[in-house]
Amino acid sequence: MIKPHGTDELRPLFVEDEDKRQTLLKEAETLPQLLLNSAAAANAVMLGAGYFSPLSGYMNAADAVSVAQEMHTVDGLFWPVPCLNMCSDASAIVAAGRMALRDPNVAGSPVLAIQDVTSIDTLSDEQLAGIAEKVFGTTDLDHPGVATFTTSGNHLVAGPLQVLNYSYFEQDFPDTFRTAMQIRAGIAANGWEKVVAFQTRNPMHRAHEELCKMAREALGADGVLIHMLLGKLKPGDIPADVRDAAIRRMVELYFPENTVMVTGYGFDMLYAGPREAVLHAVFRQNAGCSHLIVGRDHAGVGSYYGPFDAQAIFREQVPDGALEIRIFEADHTAYSKKLNRVVMMRDVPDHGMEDFVLLSGTKVREMLAAGQSLPEEFARPEVALILMEHYRHAN
């Protein structure tokens, strides 16, 4: 199986030993407390679950700037997006050598992790804007990722973590949330060697389904990892539980048996386009996948990125040898009325736009909210039914 990123073995920061975890929870009661923001909490979950291997904790300012500008830490580890614990008020922890980190996403804000504080750096608004410009390609506050980043505070609290739970993800998604270690174990149990990953924050329609099948066939892969984001999204995106149900129904009915693993991970969407696509590749390498599908406007939002910028970054900015995982470059996929099947649009140069069944996200939401069925060429009827039920109850 493919090696984890930057290390021979995964380095998850979750404390597996139950007795040790209980001892640490008791210690946490005596420590200075910091209520995390959602992004920092998600970073802790990803550190605990092995997806951020080989990082040992939150980055300091020097590493954050180096990662933003050069895509590597000061010590030379390739990394595409800073992993940070940002806060707006550090007065309660300024003298803390060790502190308890509380979860903002669970009732009662239980302790999520314990952090050894190695530094607290304060960045100017200009420095934060500089990092945002490099990571997101913009400083526009209408960009949801920029808005979250630039309002999370100017203080960076750096240091290693001991992660004590996986926030709400295990309880809310017991059949779907999986750590990188669990996915590796599942791949090994299936006897798979070559695995192609599909990242999604949306329900999967016919085009997505066929894209996974095309990639598996083209690569000669043993299986597909459908890996959905379970954390915070922007308003209007489909909730994770609805996506999960729709995707599982599609896999059950329309994929060959034992060719797909449906799993999820606990992270908040950044909408960072090309940089986030590279981060997605790191996640999937750590989870044991040999390939990642990168399609049109991967991890994008609005019109901030070109349609294939997320593919170009791997060719133009990721150094040779920085990652072992490989990219399957996909074009926009759609149902061809001429051929009566889903195709990659680049493969049918004789087609005009009128030859495809294409629906915008806005149009899909409008139809579902109105209780209208989606065209079978666009969405499997069983999937559309689940989505229609969601919109019927939401309105």
Q: Higher confidence at residue 204 or residue 309?
A: 309
Mean pLDDT of 125-130: 95
149: tokens are 């980043």
| Helix (H/G/I), strand (E/B), else coil: 57 | strand
- What does the pLDDT average to over 382-386? 91
Half-sphere exposure of 261 (CA within 13 A, CB side): 31
Q: Which of 391, 394, 392, 337 is nearest to 203 (CA)?
A: 391
At 113, the pLDDT band (50, 70, 90 cuts) reads very high
Mean predicted lDDT score pLDDT of the chain:
94
Question: What integer pLDDT is reported at residue 369 of this predicted model?
Answer: 80
CATH of 175-265+271-394, one of 1.10.150.120, 3.40.50.620, 3.40.50.720, 3.40.50.460: 3.40.50.620
Residue pair 43/58 in contact by the 8 Å Cβ criterion: yes
pLDDT band at 203 (very low <50, low <70, confident <90, very high): confident
Mean pLDDT of the region 358-379: 81
* 18-167 fold: Sulfate adenylyltransferase (3.10.400)
Instruction: Return the pLDDT at 370.
Output: 82
Question: Domain extents for the chain?
Answer: 18-167, 175-265+271-394
Tell me what percent of the residues of the chain surpass a pLDDT of 70: 98
**Packing angle between helix 274-286 and helix 309-316, nearest 10 degrees?**
70
Query: Which is it for strands 155-163 and 119-122: parallel, antiparallel or unpaired?
Result: antiparallel
Q: Beta-carbon neighbour count of residue 94 at 10 Å?
A: 12
User: Strand, helix or coil at 282?
Assistant: helix
Residue 107: the pLDDT is 96
The CB density around residue 395, as the number of other CB atoms within 10 Å, is 9
Residues 6 or more apart whose CB falls under 8 angstroms from that of 385 comprise none
Write down the pLDDT at residue 395.
Answer: 63
Which percentage of the chain shows pLDDT scores above 90? 82
pLDDT attached to residue 268: 93
Strand bridging mode 341-344 / 223-229: unpaired
pTM of the full structure: 0.94
pLDDT at 332: 86
Residues labelled as active-site residues: 201-202
Are 200 and 208 in contact by the 8 Å Cβ rule? The answer is yes
